[in-house]
């Protein structure tokens, strides 16, 4: 439910404040990707929390891999900027789960 609310709020923001969203696209995109990555990994973690450690690791790896592919597919930023955003998000998830 929170993911749907996040997507709706970003969509509403970009519709109502198109000029601001265009000027601050890197910031909006970075925040959106970071929050979505955290939500996706948290969902995967809660799904596999009581499974064995290899199942938990496989679930988190699959989640981050799919999210990285989706992010690179939808990003209008350069490859280097997108890679930095993804790297920070993945490292943040790994640090918070350790």
How do the domains of the chain map onto residue ranges? 25-97
Over range 56-62, report the average pLDDT: 84
Residues 6+ apart with CB under 8 A from 43: 63
pLDDT at 19: 87
pTM: 0.66
DSSP string, 11-64: HHHHHHTHHHHHHTHHHHHHHHHHHHHHHHHHHHHHHHTTS-HHHHHHHHHHHH
pLDDT value for 95: 73
């Amino acid at each position: 439910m929170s993911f749907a609310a996040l997507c709706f709020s970003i969509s509403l923001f970009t519709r109502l404040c198109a000029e601001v969203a265009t000027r601050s696209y890197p910031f909006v995109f970075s925040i959106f990707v970071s929050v979505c990555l955290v939500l996706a990994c948290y969902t995967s973690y809660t799904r596999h929390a009581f499974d064995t450690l290899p199942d938990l690791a496989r679930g988190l790896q699959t989640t981050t891999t799919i999210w990285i592919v989706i992010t690179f597919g939808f990003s209008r930023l350069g490859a280097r900027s997108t890679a930095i955003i993804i790297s920070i998000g993945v490292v943040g998830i790994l640090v918070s789960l350790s």
